[in-house]
Structure 1
């Protein structure tokens, strides 16, 4: 198997794949970009490692259950969304491998045998693997949101890309819930413009330095009052830090007014991929 790219995806709001009747076509573009990941990577991975912005711990923690349950970490949605099942298997062997790589690199990590899938994982994966037949392991982000720590963690996990493991950082390029709508239009556009410039135009060393100082970006704290949904990006990039980035999803009308994006790091197997 050839080396897999890594991804940072803007995963959308709550359990949206199970609410198409309510949302209409609002998520069509995001859904199409997620479905297209399978074409881009070319071959079926052995497993997926999801770095979820919805799981935050004092030290890096990996989900190690062979049959993860569901975590409905959202509120105010229709009753049926609290009955959703995404019965993808876990992969205890991969969980142990992830923890070992992090520990060997000096980043204390442990395995949680009880952790289930939060919506940063199951909502994002539903369009990609709707049959829920792909082994999935989650990795937490770390308290403090230190970009250097998360970039280094990604660096430590890079060998997984040669072992058939697809690394996906799941967050949102704009995550200010109080500004989800017209109030967030300016901030999301300004921050996204900066992010596009940094990821797509700067040399790898300059790209990393810019991300270390991300809070100085235009409207940074308006876009991310807390950087829990940005930290998965750092891990995904760290695992492919010298490689080219590509924007694989972009729209400026998310929730009616917001600018959001997703990115791939590393080459796609299908060269015509966006």
Structure 2
């Protein structure tokens, strides 16, 4: 059995910079050895939940600009799995959640930068899923709930996003985190520990500095999906916490 994970993907530089966080991902991969991976990425948005469905090798998407040439040379040639894509589709359909399949899209950097660090051999099948950023948090949690039993089959569900993600408030090169970024994550951790879903679902009104931390929800909704995907008998656990450029959070959770 494997847990569900929320992992921060941060900057694309994660793929080539050796940091405390990249080292954590290397260690995590030795602890979690799934037979397949289902990953919700903040960098694929759609109004209808969309599931990658192919058995061939994914293209690597460089959905960013202005980074070192070495980053654009990286390939992550993971293969998909139509069998697992159909399994996921069926679970959503059983709960009345509309879905569609995509047979051509590659892996964006919300997926491949993390997986490149965790499973560099690219030998684990991957199913990538889009997010609808404007569904309310309780609906995002319900999407995750549909996949709760996948962990029992050693299928790893990952929500790939960032809790504090405001590119307009980044301080390049600053190592110490801003107090308001810490305060938002502290609130989040407290409510998760208390299993206070009502407060979490109303974070926009209740969490300190919510507007600064989550100016747009696409990077935050994978957190609710991963939380919903976790086994409710497990105790949620912070597995990593660090910050980059003052405000970019690498808070990661195991559910």
Q: Residues of 1 paired with 2:10 and 2:250: CA distance? A: 9
1:10-159 alignment runs, 5 A limit: 10-18=8-16, 20=17, 25=18, 28-41=19-32, 44-66=33-55, 67-159=57-149
Post-superposition offset of 1:256:
4.7
Q: CA separation in 2, counterparts of 1:119 and 1:234?
A: 20
CA distance in 2, matches of 1:85, 1:209: 41
Verify: 1:212 aligned to 2:201, yes or no.
yes
CA-CA distance at 1:160 after TM superposition: 1.1
Distance 1:197 1:94 in 2: 34
The gaps in structure 1 that reach 5 residues or longer are 266-274
Deviation at 1:162, TM superposition (A): 1.4
Q: 1:131-210 counterparts in 2 under 5 A? A: 131-181=121-171, 185-199=178-192, 201-202=193-194, 204=195, 206=196, 208-210=197-199
Task: Work out whether residues 49 and 138 of structure 1, in 8 Å CA contact, stay in contact via their aligned partners in 2.
Answer: yes
Task: Tell me which residue corresponds to 1:6.
Answer: 4
Q: TM-score, normalised by structure 2?
A: 0.91
Number of residue equivalences? 249
SS of the residue aligned with 1:72? coil
Is the CA contact 1:59–1:109 (under 8 Å) kept in the aligned structure 2? yes
Question: 2:237 aligned with 1:246, yes or no?
Answer: yes
Question: Quick one: distance in 1 between partners of 2:133 and 2:251?
Answer: 24
Q: TM-score, normalised by structure 1?
A: 0.85
Name the structure 1 match of 2:254: 264
1:227 is the counterpart of 2:248: no
Shift of 1:38: 2.6
Runs of 4+ in structure 1 deviating by more than 6 angstroms, as ranges, are none
The 3 A distance-change label for structure 1 pair 137 and 78 is same
Query: CA contact under 8 A between 1:188 and 1:260: conserved in structure 2?
Result: no
Kept after mapping to 1: 8 A contact 2:3/2:151: yes
How far residue 37 of structure 1 moved from its aligned partner, in angstroms, is: 2.0
Measured after TM superposition, the shift of residue 258 of structure 1 is 4.7
2: CA distance, partners of 1:257 / 1:110: 35
Q: Structure 2: where are the runs of 5+ without partners?
A: none
RMSD, aligned α-carbons? 1.8
SS of structure 1 residue aligned to 2:178: helix
